[in-house]
Amino acid sequence: MQKLITAITFLLLFFSLSAQPLKITPLTGDFYIYTTYNIYKGDQVPANGMYLVTSNGVLMIDTPWDSTQFQPLLDSIQSRHHKKVVLCIATHFHEDRTGGLEFYQRQGIKTYTTSQTDSFCKKENKKRAAFLLAKDSTFKLGQYSFQTYYGGPGHSPDNIVIWFQQAKILYGGCLIKSTEASDLGNLSDANVEAWATTIKKIQHAFKQPQFIIPGHLAWTSNRSLNHTLQLIEQYQQKTK
């Protein structure tokens, strides 16, 4: 009986850890944050993406971290807004941003990364986009326009941000750390020496954002750029 109880407990624990929910939260107006989860170093970690509903379809920024949520996210968007995703942009080459690119391309969605991101995706055997951006670009979709911006390396060599001037939204992805973060996180591809300069360039380029969306953890504070600088400084002091 004890063995049976142990086995059931293990299965319940396994399924609780492997069950990766999809959470969609309104941000402002036509903007929504979607959050998926995966296991990182034994813990369930949230990853934030964003989508924008326009008159000409839906823009998705980054893809779910958990592959089981690729289709449910599309289904949820269709059910909520009666529109299809037509464009997807990934902000750097890691799996929590690019994992769904080829899946979404097969659904007829136009997928984009920078040329630099694509080179890393190819090298690391990650999923790749159908269309490449050779430089900072401005898009128009329906009633909205937005721009991609590369300020330099930080979390990864290729990390970009996306700026929505009308709504004053800065989507930072993993380059920007949530105010909930206590450290810089995954540094496997990071350039900590250049990171602060990159953040300061972004602060200079996009002033007074009302919303700043980091790649992980809480996104309700607009102080995450300054918090990222503080974490960089703390890391550098510890490693001197």
Residue owning tokens 């509903």: 53
Q: Which of 156, 147, 204 is nearest to 176 (CA)?
A: 156
Q: Give the CB-side neighbour count of residue 85, counting CA atoms within 13 A.
A: 31
Which residues are designated catalytic? 92, 94, 96, 155, 186
End-to-end CA distance of the chain: 56
d(CA 140, CA 130): 18
Q: At what angle do helices 224-238 and 192-205 cross, to 10 degrees?
A: 160
- Cα 224 from chain centroid? 15
d(CA 115, CA 131): 9
d(CA 125, CA 94): 11
Contact yes or no for 75/46 (Cβ under 8 A): no
